[in-house]
Amino acid sequence: VRGKRDGDIGTEAVPIGDYFQLKPEQCRDKRFELVGDGFTLRSKPATIRGLAWPAATLAVADARAWGDPATLLAGSSAPAPELPVVVGRAPLAPGTPLFVALQRLAVETPPAGDLATYTAVTAAAPGTKAAPPPLPLLPAYAAADLPKVAAETAAHFAALRTHVAIET
């Protein structure tokens, strides 16, 4: 879904809470594989690995039930629904974090390119350098590594905040 102003919050004709709400038709042509500690989503634009730590109970459900949590969380049986979405349940305990990760994976088939409109607005202006090539994707995380990955990420951004200063 593309907004009027490339993601500027507050510029859409609908409330932002509605704008980013899942629409069942967005789940068409997606395939989910539940794998041990998570899932893999295969779609035209990308392959995404989803993990939770500690483990969550996952199921594939029919996205048309998005407005009915009891039906949605019950999942669906074979065959796979036409509009699939992954749902999960995990116990929450005070003082105990639940780590959730969505990670784009490198796959054999090249990912779909940017939409033509994105390519147009991000094209280099005459006399400027082209954007560097994209960074390679990291190997898939293991669910048990999520606390460490979260701590490393927090430390990285804490260090970054001390290196950037803006005077106005």
Q: Which of 47-84 are b and which e, b meaning 16 or more Cβ less than 10 Å from the residue's Cβ?
A: bbbbbbbbbbebbbbbbbbbeeeeebeebbeeeebebb
pLDDT band at 120 (very low <50, low <70, confident <90, very high): low
Of residues 79 and 112, more confidently modeled: 79
C-alpha angle 51-100-156 in degrees, rounded to nearest 5: 115
Q: What pLDDT does residue 67 have?
A: 93
Q: What pLDDT does residue 164 have?
A: 73
Q: What pLDDT does residue 115 have?
A: 63
Of residues 42 and 9, more confidently modeled: 42
Q: What pLDDT does residue 134 have?
A: 76
What's CA 78's distance to the chain center, in Å? 25
Q: What pLDDT does residue 4 have?
A: 64
Of residues 76 and 39, more confidently modeled: 39
Instruction: Tell me what the mean pLDDT of segment 56-63 comes to.
Output: 94
Among 16-25, 112-121, 127-136, name the most confident range. Answer: 16-25
Distance CA 76, CA 87 (A): 10
Neighbours of 3 (CB within 10 A): 14
Q: What pLDDT does residue 1 have?
A: 55
Specify the pTM.
Answer: 0.73
Looking at residue 81, the DSSP 8-state letter turns out to be P
Q: At residue 133, does pLDDT exceed 90?
A: no
